[in-house]
Structure 1
Amino acid sequence: MRYQNTYANLDPRLYHKQPPTALKNPRAGHFNLALAEKLGWTEDEDLMSRWVDILGGQYVPTEFEPLAMAYAGHQFGQWAGQLGDGRGLLMAQVLDNSDTLQDLHLKGIGLTPYSRMGDGRAVLRSTIREYLCGHALTTLGIPSSNALGFVVSDTPVRRERMEAGAALMRVADSHVRLGHIEWIASFAPDLLGEFTDYMIDTYYSECRDSDSPILSFLQKVVERTARMIADWQLIGFAHGVMNTDNLSITGSTLDFGPFGFMERFNPAWINNHSDHTGRYAYQNQPAIGYWNLNVWLPHFMRLPDVTREALAECLAPYEATFMQHYQQGLCRKLGLTHETDSLQLAFDFLTLLEDNLLDYTNGFRGLLGLIDPDTHPYEKQLLVTMINELPPEALTLYQAWRERYFTKTATLTKAEVVDSLQNNNPVYVLRNSMAQRAIVAAEQGQFTEVERLYNLLANPYNVQDIATELDTMPPAPDAPQLPISCSS
């Protein structure tokens, strides 16, 4: 691999260098060979033969420089003070096959100075959920951290019950969070200029050509964040804990705790059982992204020539960027071009899904069964299932909507509509029930279901023979949408 451990050369106040605390008897859970090839990991025989030892913390390659990052953050809208890597270490930074810098971050590997009241460990169930979710978002085309692999061990970890300790090697284009700047502003303000230069030079080097590199950098962070959240909304993904310490400066999805993919469509869905007010509900994510950035940006006023008015101009494109990206994507999910009447059709379809608690993923994918039923029998059956759930008055509304939709799609070629529907509406997302079945099997020592789901989610836009009916089955209409615990 091509190592480029730049973070380890920054001011030592920003991190604490330490080795991982080894897990007892680590064993292979799953290895992401495709990602390993992209990183150049497969070209090193030592890395390949000892990946379980590396992820288990028993072996640290000489090129690695493990460290725990310090950062701070606002959690649920309140200042939380110093946080930091409490159970993870940035092990190394490498250039991948596309010359993109990637962080190798080992999670669940013991106490650090930032652990606070934690034990520095991760359990198998949360590790599997993060492993599969990062993989799912990546293959869906949404900027996200991914993972090289995970291991399970004999190290006992107490949560609500005693569980098996596990570790995951997370790979992301950056682990620098909005919270890094919050930490610097509170605890080392003299580092702000140096660290801002690092962020620009490392992640936004094109901004150096701007008349004001700092303001150009800040606006790009705003725009990338807006596009990422629009991608979440389009696919029906709820992050669940959008604290400032969980948002990356590169606009890539980071930190999978109580996340979830929408099943029966309910915009007010709260998927985090600790979110008692619904702050991080699915429908609130765009506004929370704006709130987080609005908290983050003023710290840069400490730098020369950065005024409040200039920062307002940096933040101003957020709403327009989000709306354009979301609206264009929503039209593509209907196989249509971005026009006013296309948007109205899309919003009316969302209302139909919401009012009747229809499945979000199946509902959009089922449109292929409406446009091209002979070639898409699977989607035709999805459509039939959806229609059969509609009460008479809703069925009448659907039929009227269908006629408007046919009229609009008639202005395009059938091939154009089908292509857009196929490429913007997945067949498979990581439903909670899918992840839970893999977790139950893994806790019994069987990782074949993790392997099957990994392969299934690797190609989410095509119907696959390895799928089962349970992979696309939503919960019953009257079943509660279960929130997920932060405990991991």
Structure 2
Amino acid sequence: MQFNPRYPELDARLYHQQMPLPLKGAKAGHFNQPLAEQLQWSAEEQSDWVAICSGQKTFPEFPPLAMVYAGHQFGQWAGQLGDGRGLLIAQIVDRQGQTIDLHLKGAGLTPYSRMGDGRAVLRSVIREYLAGHALNALGVCSSNAVGFTSSTQGVQREKLEPGAMLLRTADCHIRLGHFEWINQYQPDLLSSFTQKCIEWHYPECLTAEQPILAFATQVIQRTAIMIAKWQLVGFAHGVMNTDNLNITGSTLDFGPYGFMERFRPDWINNHSDYNGRYTYQNQPGIAHWNLWNWLNNLIPLATDPAEKEQFKADLAHSLEQFEPTFLEHYRIGLCQKMGLPQFHTDSFDCGMAFLKILQSEQLDYTQNFIRLQQQEYDAIKDDCLDRHQFETFLTQYEQIRTHQDTDQLNTDMLSANPIYILRNHMLQKAIELAEQDDFSEVDRLFQLLSQPYVKQTMLEKPEDLAPLPSDVPEIVVSCSS
């Protein structure tokens, strides 16, 4: 590996250095070799992956550390948080010259563990491992993972479960909550910390007339694009607290997430979210709220009282770019999924009419975009109780596509509509087998989800392509991990 240890350059109040505490009886789970090669792992490092991914081996070039941050959880100020069970064990340079964090999850107690035990269970580790892999393959910026390990050590949750560790990778683990912690507890660090964030992640902003405003605008735009991509693939994060969003607009912290199956925009995929704050349909609004809160933490950077009000107004103006950025990327993406020309004035409304049908008829989100792509119109109509509603939509849909370059539109659909998503029942089967030391289903899903837009008849199973029958209870997922 090529190390670039830059986070330890920050003030020591922002982290706590400590070694990971390995689990007893660590054993191989799954290894992401293509990612390891992208990260320039040597053959020796790849052969030692179990030791690295289980906390048994660390690197003298980077003393492991736990970050401290704060956050709003479910809309309420939660005070000091931090890496309560994870350690940043390295920062390395990948083949593209980008610095990537290696973060070991489940590494033991830290000063920020609060009431936790510092551990992760196999169930949640597999969920995060496959989710990051799936989103990256779908073209959505996300953390990923080099691999995970299981163990013979039990960890108590609702029941005793196998302990596990995950070596997560991300372009950035600096969260919106870092700024909240600094403002609340160490405000003297705000200026230098923000400067480093710009240098490391937005160096192009350094030459802007107002670097901080340029930085804020970039964070807002990248977050808006990430949320638009979530919506387009039907991904619901489930826990969009301010400590779970980072400053580079890449998906972080997979807990009780879910990929939309039957199209229910108000679906509560996190059963700890009693009020439905983090439903699929609320994600754009919650991201806007989180960014508004984050911008308030930048206001103290205006040190001249005479300039403070103007700076606040400029920050507010930068947030105004969130909605148009989100809508533009969502509109373009929806037109691509529908095979409709982006310039046509009725294309977006036609796309929304199709979503309305999916919602009212409770049809599968992913499967029915594929049916539309393959022009299986009768199959969709046969699943509709209100056949007239679908016929009205189809008339408009075909009219818009008349006299268009349908070959190009159909090509757009192929690249915008995945055949495979990570359905909860697929995950559950892989988890149940893994808890019996059988990781074959994890490996099958890893391979299947590596190419979600390509039909893979030798790998797929019928249950990969559809939701569970409506009379079968859905898989319940909560914040317990």
Identity of aligned residues (%): 53
- Cα distance between partner residues in 1 of 2:321 and 2:93: 31
One-letter code aligned to 1:17: Q
- Cα distance between partner residues in 2 of 1:265 and 1:362: 11
**For 1:292-322, what per-residue CA distance to the aligned partner results, in whole angstroms no more than 9, with x for missing partners?**
0111111111113552111111211011111
Residue in structure 2 matching 1:424, options 416, 431, 442: 416
Aligned residues between the structures: 473
**For 1:172-215, what per-residue CA distance to the aligned partner results, in whole angstroms no more than 9, with x for missing partners?**
00000000000000111000000000100000000011000011
Partner of 2:255: 257
Superposition map of 1:62-461 within 5 A: 62-304=60-302, 305=307, 307-338=311-342, 339-370=344-375, 380=376, 385-391=379-385, 394-461=386-453
**For 1:399-426, what per-residue CA distance to the aligned partner results, in whole angstroms no more than 9, with x for missing partners?**
2221221221223223112101110010
Aligned-pair distance for 1:384? 5.3
**For 1:333-389, what per-residue CA distance to the aligned partner results, in whole angstroms no more than 9, with x for missing partners?**
11112232001110100000000000000111111221xxxxxxxxx4xx5553332
- Cα distance between partner residues in 1 of 2:278 and 2:61: 39
Q: Is the 8 A contact 2:59 2:90 kept in 1?
A: no
Residue in structure 2 matching 1:472, options 455, 465, 471: 465
**For 1:407-453, what per-residue CA distance to the aligned partner results, in whole angstroms no more than 9, with x for missing partners?**
21223223112101110010000000110010011111111111110
- Cα distance between partner residues in 2 of 1:269 and 1:346: 20
One-letter code aligned to 2:325: T
Q: CA 1:187 to 1:30, structure 2 compared with 1: closer, same or farther past 3 Å?
A: same
One-letter code aligned to 1:341: D
One-letter code aligned to 2:358: L
Aligned-pair distance for 1:477? 3.5
Runs of 4+ in 1 over 6 A off after TM superposition: none
- Cα distance between partner residues in 2 of 1:45 and 1:328: 42
**For 1:236-260, what per-residue CA distance to the aligned partner results, in whole angstroms no more than 9, with x for missing partners?**
0000000000001000000000000
One-letter code aligned to 1:386: I
Q: Is the 8 A contact 1:21 1:110 kept in 2?
A: yes
Aligned Cα root-mean-square deviation (Å)? 1.2
Q: Is the 8 A contact 2:425 2:475 kept in 1?
A: no
Aligned to 2:374, what secondary structure does the other structure show? helix
One-letter code aligned to 1:357: Q
- Cα distance between partner residues in 2 of 1:88 and 1:71: 13
Q: Normalized against structure 2, the TM-score is what?
A: 0.96
**For 1:137-161, what per-residue CA distance to the aligned partner results, in whole angstroms no more than 9, with x for missing partners?**
0000000000000000011100010
Partner of 2:19: 19
One-letter code aligned to 1:387: K
Q: Is the 8 A contact 1:107 1:169 kept in 2?
A: yes
**For 1:252-278, what per-residue CA distance to the aligned partner results, in whole angstroms no more than 9, with x for missing partners?**
000000000000000111111111111
**Gaps (5+ residues) in structure 1?**
371-379
- Cα distance between partner residues in 2 of 1:110 and 1:223: 35
Partner of 2:47: 49
**Gaps (5+ residues) in structure 2?**
none
- Cα distance between partner residues in 2 of 1:164 and 1:324: 44
- Cα distance between partner residues in 1 of 2:378 and 2:103: 45
Aligned-pair distance for 1:124? 0.4
Aligned to 1:230, what secondary structure does the other structure show? helix
- Cα distance between partner residues in 1 of 2:384 and 2:352: 18
- Cα distance between partner residues in 2 of 1:140 and 1:162: 34
One-letter code aligned to 1:28: A
Q: CA 1:211 to 1:250, structure 2 compared with 1: closer, same or farther past 3 Å?
A: same
Q: Is the 8 A contact 1:124 1:163 kept in 2?
A: yes
More off after superposition, 399-408 vs 118-127: 399-408
Q: CA 1:127 to 1:384, structure 2 compared with 1: closer, same or farther past 3 Å?
A: farther
Q: Is the 8 A contact 2:341 2:401 kept in 1?
A: no
